């Protein structure tokens, strides 16, 4: 995984056999309007970066691991659980569902105690959600709430150096049609 966020902003959260390491930034936000209203540009204009250096991209990268042994289906569910928690946290903290380059990796300990499921209502899923939320929040604070930076979360996709709004309407029909 590559990240646009300096590793000094990485944060780790641990709970009940789950560990999450997160780097989080939001300079290239991704928005998905759900109310049918346009939120501005479809793709942010390439803006010149502030200062003399290159643009400071941001992304959300998560490494999620558990000491439990999960079968493939539960591992896929853990991925969905982690992405859901990342999305909810980013929406609450930044107003965006994520960025254009987010990545999540999940892992399991095949020698650990077996767990058949990893959804939100399971011990593994619950711990993963809490860890993702807390690690993402802490990484965002480490990146943006420092005395030595003027970086901030963009107020909109249009205000960001990079970003995307997924607009449009899909054709929806009954499955049997």
Q: Answer yes or no: is pLDDT of 75 > 60.
A: yes
Mean pLDDT within 11-18? 98
Q: Cα–Cα distance between 42 and 21 in angstroms, integer?
A: 31
Say what the alpha-carbon torsion angle 121, 124, 130, 132 is, to the nearest 10 degrees.
-120
100 vs 4: which has the higher pLDDT: 100
Mean pLDDT within 24-47? 67
Mean pLDDT within 89-105? 94
Summarize pLDDT for 125-163 with one digit per residue, the tens.
999 999 999 999 999 999 898 878 888 888 989 888 888
When pLDDT is cut at 50, 70 and 90, the band that residue 53 belongs to is: very low
pLDDT of residue 146: 80
The answer to whether the CB of 39 falls within 8 A of the CB of 155 is no
The answer to whether the CB of 23 falls within 8 A of the CB of 9 is yes
Question: HEC string of 50-111?
Answer: CCCCCCCCCCEEEEEEECCECCHHHHHHHHHHHHHHHHHHHHHHHCCCEECCCEEEEEECCC
Q: Answer yes or no: is pLDDT of 43 > 60.
A: no
Could you tell me the two tokens for 56? Answer: 């400071």
Q: Answer yes or no: is pLDDT of 102 > 90.
A: yes
Where exactly are the structural domains of the chain? Answer: 7-25+57-95+106-153
pLDDT of residue 60: 93
Say what the alpha-carbon torsion angle 116, 117, 122, 127 is, to the nearest 10 degrees.
100
How much is the pTM? Answer: 0.85
């Amino acid at each position: 995984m590559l990240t646009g966020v300096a590793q000094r902003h990485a944060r780790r959260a641990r709970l009940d056999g789950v560990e999450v390491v997160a780097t989080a930034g939001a300079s290239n936000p991704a928005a998905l309007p759900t109310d049918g209203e346009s939120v501005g540009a479809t793709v942010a204009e390439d803006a010149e970066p502030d200062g003399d250096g290159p643009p400071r991209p941001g992304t959300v990268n998560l490494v999620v691991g558990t000491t439990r042994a999960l079968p493939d289906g539960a591992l896929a569910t853990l991925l969905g659980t982690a992405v859901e928690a990342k999305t909810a946290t980013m929406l609450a903290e930044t107003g965006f569902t994520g960025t254009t380059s987010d990545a999540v990796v999940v892992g399991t300990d095949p020698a650990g105690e077996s767990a058949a499921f990893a959804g939100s209502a399971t011990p593994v899923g619950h711990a993963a959600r809490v860890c993702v939320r807390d690690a993402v929040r802490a990484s965002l604070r480490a990146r943006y709430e420092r005395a030595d930076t003027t970086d901030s979360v963009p107020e909109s996709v249009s205000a960001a150096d990079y970003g995307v709004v997924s607009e449009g309407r899909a054709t929806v029909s009954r499955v049997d049609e």
